[in-house]
Amino acid sequence: MGSKIEIVKLVQPLPILRQGYISCAVEAARSCINHNVEADQIGILVSTAIYRDHHLVEPALSSLILGKVMQNPLLKKGSPHGQLQKVITFDLNNGACGLIQAIQLVDTYIQNGNVKRGMIITGDSTYNKRNNNNYPFSDGAAAIILSKGVKNMGFSGFQTDSYLQFKDDFTGICQYRNRKLYLNINEKDQFLEHAVTCVMSSMEKFLEKEKISISDIDFVFSTQNPDGLISQIREKTNLGNKVIQLDSKINRFHTAAPLAALDKLIKSSQYGLAKNILFLAVGSGITVSLALYKQ
């Protein structure tokens, strides 16, 4: 059986601190590690953020996060949680689907015996809000630690499909004009309709492959964009409130949305009752990623 979720932490920036993604990511990572996780067993750290501080393109954000996490005095020699030792870091990007693909990747490294534990950090932030056109997402970061699961529990299946006929439906690009950088998010009117169609097609295929009925799904942790996605999935799957909706006014996360939904459910105490959880992401491409988690 696949990897289990050890812990997830969500961090939203304090406006007074003007925190960007890296700062929130470091806080989320430290928070996970300080919660009884042996840091020296984390062998891989992957960041799946798309929109980032200062439009940094090098080095990988994961290496910057690792560098800052290592500065944590709690991780110095003698710490009860040990130190980060040999760590593989890199960024994995595929729009909103990067998170689930990174979960599959870390799960693969754990199942192969390459690493004992892996951390994925995700989230987004905008550099200069004045120059952002149609940027709809909240700033913040979430971190999750995975480790080897026990029989019949943990991540049991993954699937990613791309529907390239809709590749122009949602784009995020950065352009230079007149000594300014503009982040332009272009979302076509048909994106919602196409996204829902793609999700339903992929979900049907996935559930059949995993030999599980939709009625056996206890909760769905999904990306939330575009507006109306969650209500349409709720309606078309008949899963209703089992598809977790985040408060879109304060929690309009992009890549971090499925982990924010998980965090919300953990805090509500209903999480422990769930047996089959579906992680779902849909985004640019159009790409749909799914993962089944059993506990």
CB of 205 to another protein, least distance (A): 13
Residue pair 218/274 in contact (Cβ under 8 Å)? The answer is: yes
Q: Could you tell me which of 189, 198, 180 has the C-alpha nearest to residue 133?
A: 180
Nearest CB to another protein, comparing residues 112 and 268: 112
79 sits near another protein (criterion: CB under 8 A): no
Please report which helix (H) or strand (E) contains residue 23, including its range.
helix 21-33
Closer by beta carbon to another protein, 78 or else 240: 78
DSSP conformation class of 76: S
- Candidates 86, 130, 151, 249; binder of another protein (CB under 8 A) is 86
Binding flag, residue 224, another protein (CB under 8 A): no
Instruction: Quote the least distance from Cβ 14 to another protein, whole Å.
Output: 24
CA distance 240 to 148: 32
- 33 strand-pairing partners: none
Longest dimension (CA), the chain: 59
The one among 40, 41, 90, 276 contacting another protein by CB under 8 A: 90
d(CA 124, CA 115): 27
Looking at the Cβ atoms of 12 and 62, the one nearer to another protein is: 62
> How many Cα neighbours within 13 Å face the side chain of 148?
11
- Report the residue from 5, 11, 92, 265 that binds another protein according to the rule CB under 8 A: 92
Kindly tell me which of 16 and 173 has the beta carbon lying closer to another protein.
Answer: 173
Question: Contact with another protein (CB under 8 A): which of 27, 91, 139, 263?
Answer: 91
| 60 scored as a contact of another protein (CB under 8 A) | yes
Told to check if 164 binds another protein by CB under 8 A, we report yes
Span of 84-92, 143-151, 193-201, 264-272 interacting with another protein by CB under 8 A: 84-92
For residues 122 and 279, the answer to whether their CB atoms sit within 8 Å is no
Q: 263 vs 14, 107, 129, 140, 242, CA distance in Å?
A: 18, 20, 27, 13, 14
- Binds another protein by CB under 8 A, chosen from 14, 35, 36, 55: 55
Stretch binding another protein (CB under 8 A), from 94-102, 212-220, 232-240, 242-250 = 94-102
Cβ density class 192-210: b for 16+ within 10 Å, e for less: bebbbbbbeebbeebbeeb
* Residue of 18, 35, 167, 275 interacting with another protein (CB under 8 A): 167
Q: Residue 68 is which amino acid?
A: K
Query: Binding to another protein by residue 282, rule CB under 8 A?
Result: no
Query: First CA to last CA across the chain, in angstroms?
Result: 11
Name which position in 3, 20, 30, 109 contacts another protein (CB under 8 A). 109
Residues in the site for another protein, rule: CB under 8 A?
A: 45, 50-51, 54-60, 62-71, 84, 86-95, 97-98, 101, 105, 108-109, 111-112, 114, 160, 162, 164, 167, 170-176, 179-181, 183, 283-285, 287
